[in-house]
């Protein structure tokens, strides 16, 4: 059983890309990391890789689009740990690059909202009791995007951009609601990063993409809440 002596983190979509790197960096900093992944094979592979490096990583089956899966993951988590210090909502999809809002298939919009917005809302709601049991002050980090910044928004990937703007609003709502519980809630733009989503020509490595999330999860002042961050600086909504 993982107890109050341990620092505990959970990352959704942690089997590849930025999520996997966040998991590695948090393991490196001594966290017991729950690798929350929808595919059992990919999840076990990632956990094995981290454990082989001497880290404490635990597989948790979790599909963010499935409320039953989230509830079951929470039940499994509770059998293995008695609190949660850091929750990173990282899992997301980007399927509408090159699409136009005037002709956008609303099924795609629905799918994107379900993964990128409703998923994080349900994950936070279900894991809230565990976050409240943190004795060091819990932190929730929602991995957003520059695409979700309304200030600069134009026509890029409408479903994805709308979903990330909604995730930013979700961040503000939870930050307000959870302030009295000493739980910090922030959104991060990791920048264009070399992953399956970002592509091989993206300027940032996964180490750089994960950096601000890990900083908010471990070092940033707990009073910093309800903000949108990029490169450890507040950025425009």
Ligand X SMILES: NC(=O)c1ccc[n+]([C@@H]2O[C@H](COP(=O)([O-])OP(=O)(O)OC[C@H]3O[C@@H](n4cnc5c(N)ncnc54)[C@H](OP(=O)(O)O)[C@@H]3O)[C@@H](O)[C@H]2O)c1
Backbone angles phi, psi at 208, to 5 degrees: -70, -40
User: The tokens 């993982």 sit on which residue?
Assistant: 2
List CB contacts of 77: < 8 A, sequence separation 6 or more: 10, 34, 60, 84, 127, 130
Catalytic residue among 31, 55, 59, 160: 160
Name the residues that contact ligand X, by CB under 6 A: 12-13, 15-19, 38-39, 42, 63-65, 90-93, 115, 143, 145, 190, 192-193, 195-198, 202
DSSP annotation of 54 reads T
Residue 51 CB, nearest approach to ligand X (Å) = 18
User: The tokens 């520059």 sit on which residue?
Assistant: 146
Residue 12 CB, nearest approach to ligand X (Å) = 6
Task: Locate the DSSP E strands across the chain.
Answer: 7-12, 31-37, 57-61, 86-89, 139-143, 184-188, 228-230, 233-234
Residue 48 CB, nearest approach to ligand X (Å) = 16
Residue 22 CB, nearest approach to ligand X (Å) = 9
Closer residue to ligand X (CB): 73 or 220: 73
Closer residue to ligand X (CB): 134 or 164: 164
Q: Does the annotation count 160 as an active-site position?
A: yes
Closer residue to ligand X (CB): 5 or 41: 41
Closer residue to ligand X (CB): 65 or 173: 65
Closest by CA position to 147, among listed 103, 202, 190, 205: 190
**Is residue 21 within 8 Å of 196, Cβ to Cβ?**
no
Residue 188 CB, nearest approach to ligand X (Å) = 8
Closer residue to ligand X (CB): 106 or 201: 201
Q: Supply 138's token pair.
A: 């819990």
**Is residue 21 within 8 Å of 206, Cβ to Cβ?**
yes
Q: Which positions are annotated as active-site residues?
A: 160
């Amino acid at each position: 059983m993982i107890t109050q002596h341990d620092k505990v983190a959970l990352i959704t979509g942690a089997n590849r890309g930025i999520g996997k790197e966040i998991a590695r960096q948090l393991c490196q900093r001594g966290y017991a990391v729950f690798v929350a992944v929808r595919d059992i094979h990919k999840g076990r592979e990632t956990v094995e890789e981290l454990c082989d490096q001497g880290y404490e990583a635990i597989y948790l089956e979790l599909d963010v689009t499935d409320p039953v899966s989230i509830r079951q993951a929470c039940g499994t988590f509770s059998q293995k740990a008695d609190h949660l210090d850091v929750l990173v909502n990282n899992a997301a999809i980007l399927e509408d690059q090159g699409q136009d809002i005037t002709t956008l298939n609303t099924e795609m919009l629905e799918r994107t909202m379900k993964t990128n917005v409703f998923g994080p809302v349900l994950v936070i709601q279900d894991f809230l009791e565990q976050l409240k049991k943190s004795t060091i002050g819990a932190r929730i980090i929602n991995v957003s995007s520059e695409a979700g910044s309304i200030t600069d928004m134009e026509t890029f990937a409408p479903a994805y951009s709308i979903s990330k703007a909604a995730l930013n609003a979700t961040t503000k709502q939870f930050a307000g609601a959870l302030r009295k519980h000493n739980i910090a809630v922030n959104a991060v733009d990791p920048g264009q990063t070399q992953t399956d989503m970002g592509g091989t020509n993206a300027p940032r490595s996964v180490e750089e993409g994960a950096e601000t999330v890990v900083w908010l999860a471990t070092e940033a002042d707990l009073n910093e809440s309800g903000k949108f961050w990029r490169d450890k600086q507040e950025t425009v909504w």
